[in-house]
Structure 1
């Protein structure tokens, strides 16, 4: 898809190609504790799954492991992929598409907010915060259905 952009320097209009920006998120699940959410320090505010942008030269798997360490200080193991979420309205800042992984950690007590996370906590099903950013409430609903189908085991 092309869109017209105006150059801020010369004022001329030109066409540029518009692509969604790749991101990753992870549902870090610990039986008895729930899933990890972070409280965002930057807009859009609210609680969210830990995640972020894929850097150039990085696979989505590398990106999600890096982002989990940066935002939660957890070393994670990827258990699988929940899905890809690409609604153009999922992020109010721009069109993103997120590869959402399911993961676990050997040391859940190491959870500590970092990077752009103001707080990081485990939340149990049914006890989620009211203000959830992006489309992460939908992703959480999909995860609970996935978990139920597996008998509660990741």
Structure 2
């Protein structure tokens, strides 16, 4: 799925097309040239240390529905990646997190089946009461050695491994 700023949908929710595609069609109809540029999605992921373990969610939605994953999501317009990781972690786990270290930037074009996303991953300390919310069906704290053995969504296994090497 390509990301567009505006997608046109029918009343039943079926995707008809995008504003960008319609502009391109109109331009060509009038002998003009219009270029359609694809957008890369920017996301954040949090490796949260909490109660001597690692916080993982079970995803509520596709892709990877019902798989374990790191808490995270898309950066909103006007938001820094640091603000986004704090917001996403709170929405999905109920925890207040403090990013303590940048784990890395992960940019393989096929890391997300929805399209090309680049994630900025942070090692964080979590405080507060654990409670699943937003895109998380459930939230868990796993001992580090168990978390490393779980099959995780996206490239979260690599991110977790990289984060634990920094610790």
TM range (shorter): 0.7 to 0.9
Is residue 103 of structure 1 aligned with residue 124 of structure 2?
yes
User: 1:141: how far off?
Assistant: 1.4
Counting helix residues as a fraction of each chain, which structure ranks higher? 2
Q: Is this contact kept in 1: 2:97–2:126, CA < 8 A?
A: yes
Q: Distance in 1 between matches of 2:155 and 2:122?
A: 15
Q: Match for residue 30 of structure 1?
A: 50
The equivalences for 1:57-136 within 5 A come to 57-107=78-128, 110-128=129-147, 130-136=150-156
Local SS of the residue matching 2:35: strand
With structure 1 as the length reference, what TM-score do the two structures score?
A: 0.81
Q: Match for residue 7 of structure 1?
A: 21
Local SS of the residue matching 1:16: coil
User: 1:90: how far off?
Assistant: 0.7
Number of residue pairs the alignment of both structures matches: 140
User: 1:55: how far off?
Assistant: 0.5
Q: Match for residue 53 of structure 1?
A: 74
Q: Distance in 2 between matches of 1:126 and 1:40?
A: 21
With structure 2 as the length reference, what TM-score do the two structures score?
A: 0.75
> Runs of 5+ in structure 2 lacking a partner?
1-17, 29-33
Change (3 A) 1:20 1:7: closer
Q: Match for residue 146 of structure 1?
A: 166
Deviations for 1:72-97, whole angstroms, at most 9, x for unmatched residues?
Answer: 01111111111111111110111000
Stretches of 4+ moved more than 4 A in 1? 8-14
Q: Distance in 2 between matches of 1:7 and 1:59?
A: 30
User: 1:132: how far off?
Assistant: 1.2
